[in-house]
Amino acid sequence: MSIESMCRAAKAASQTLAQVNSADKRRALLAMADNLWDEREDILAANAEDLHEGELKGLTPALLDRLMLNDKRLAGIVADLRQVADLPDPVGELFEEQTLPNGLQLSKLRVPLGVLGVIYEARPNVTVDVAGMALQSGNAAVLRGGSETIRSNRALHAAIRRGLQGSVVPADAIQLIEDTDRQLVMELLQMDDYISIIIPRGGAGLHDFCRKNSRIPVITGGIGICHLFVDASADLPRAVEVIRNAKIQRPTVCNALDTVLVHQAVAQQFIPALIERLAADGVTFRGDPRTCRLVADQYQSVLRPAGEQDFDTEWLSLILGIKIVDGLEEAVAHIAAHSTAHSDGILTADNENAASFVAQVDSAAVYVNASTRFTDGSQLGLGAEVAISTQRLHARGPLGLRELTTYKWVVRGDYHVRT
């Protein structure tokens, strides 16, 4: 099937799906979940082939970790899908209702975006996550995963379609581009007659390619160079534990911590304690000149001078940058210069400094005394998300069900005419 045929089928399915009620969507999602688990042997066998080929091709440990499925991870994916099925359906919500002085009754009605075009790399769980979120929000989706996950994605997509059989949700609502030819991504980006929005999930190169070549609006994000600033007033032992969580809890994801900024007033006390604690977890460090002068002799086995691009690197591994700053303003300036506007935070007991940091740092998620690892749809009460947006238009941060909708104005009158 050609890209245009797939997109046309998805759009037709989206028009049907937009009229499906909440109960029927829930039943369809639960049937999908059941069938994914029933077909787990086929799915895991396909994933094992992808992993084997990835190892032969020399994929990094971080990529192989993203690619890998096992019983536990697949059970988690199925559980997440069931959770999505139980989330409140945003479609059909009436809001901002009012009556004008002339008697016109106004409201906004929440409706699906239409068809999502999602391009992603090395994460087979995205196939299921997007399918579930799209259907629950009344959207169809055209999926294009990376070549390294093609067998896994085919098996997952087949299980999804079979799970939808017998439901009122059209199976054509979830399309998968199975051909790994990169030229097909360019074709997808031209399908503005059918696709409502493009959501890339991958590295900076993929996001840049979509921005430069798409005729369809693109939601960008998911690339996180994340910072935490340790203020002079911070509770230092607790700050170490927050930083440890942000760095090591899952280092291969976009909301993992990349750089710690330390107020010079507490650097001599704090940095050795931080290095001692995290080095035990296998973390190595890249320090600015002041940090290296302070502790290089003591920690030369795990600390080396930061290179020219190190503070502009999303590590996705157990590497952490450290920089000593003179105060809040220098910390904010560093974040403005090096952050990707994903997740940045301050650890402080000073409410004025916290407020100033929140006001000045222009990131999708700004934290006060918390780990950056909370930038996640389920953690922030959305239930799930299809991506993290770092742009300003339409939505920022985790894209949950409501963020996958738009609205139409509904105007009710009594045969009103404009004078």
In a shared domain, residues 210 and 266: no
Q: Which CATH number do you get for residue 366?
A: 3.40.309.10
What is the rounded distance in angstroms from the CA atom of residue 323 to the CA atom of residue 87?
42
The answer to whether position 195 is within a domain reads: yes
Task: Give all strands (DSSP E) within 278-347, no chain letters.
Answer: 284-287, 303-305, 319-325, 343-347
The answer to whether position 270 is within a domain reads: yes
Overall domain count for the chain: 2
94-99 and 105-112 beta bridge pairing: antiparallel
What is the rounded distance in angstroms from the CA atom of residue 23 to the CA atom of residue 135?
12
Which residues, including other chains, have CB under 8 Å from residue 368's CB and lie 6 or more apart? 345, 346, 348, 354, 357, 358
In a shared domain, residues 211 and 232: no
Domain range enclosing 48: 3-219+399-412
Residue pLDDT, tens place only, 326-374: 999 999 999 999 999 999 999 999 999 999 999 999 999 999 999 999 9
Q: Which CATH number do you get for residue 16?
A: 3.40.605.10
State the Cα torsion 365-367-370-371 to the nearest 10°.
Answer: 40
The answer to whether position 140 is within a domain reads: yes
The answer to whether position 381 is within a domain reads: no
In a shared domain, residues 130 and 244: no
In a shared domain, residues 242 and 293: yes
Which DSSP state fits 372? G
The answer to whether position 418 is within a domain reads: no
Instruction: Note down pLDDT in tens along the chain; length 419 residues.
Output: 899 999 999 999 999 999 999 999 999 999 999 999 999 999 999 999 999 999 999 998 878 988 999 999 999 999 999 999 999 999 999 999 999 999 999 999 999 999 999 999 888 999 999 999 999 999 999 999 999 999 999 999 999 999 999 899 999 999 999 998 989 999 999 999 999 999 998 888 899 999 999 999 999 887 899 999 999 999 999 999 999 999 999 998 899 999 999 999 999 999 999 999 999 999 999 999 999 999 978 898 999 999 999 999 999 899 999 999 999 999 999 999 999 999 999 999 999 999 999 999 999 999 999 999 999 988 898 888 888 999 888 889 999 999 999 999 999 999 999 99
- Amino acid in position 38: D
SS3 22: helix
Contacts 24+ apart (CB under 8 A), 210-216: 210/119, 213/186, 213/189, 214/189, 214/190, 215/189, 215/190, 215/191, 216/117, 216/189, 216/191, 216/192
The answer to whether position 370 is within a domain reads: yes
What is the rounded distance in angstroms from the CA atom of residue 191 to the CA atom of residue 32?
28
In a shared domain, residues 198 and 233: no
Q: How far is CA 109 from the centre of its chain?
A: 26
The answer to whether position 48 is within a domain reads: yes
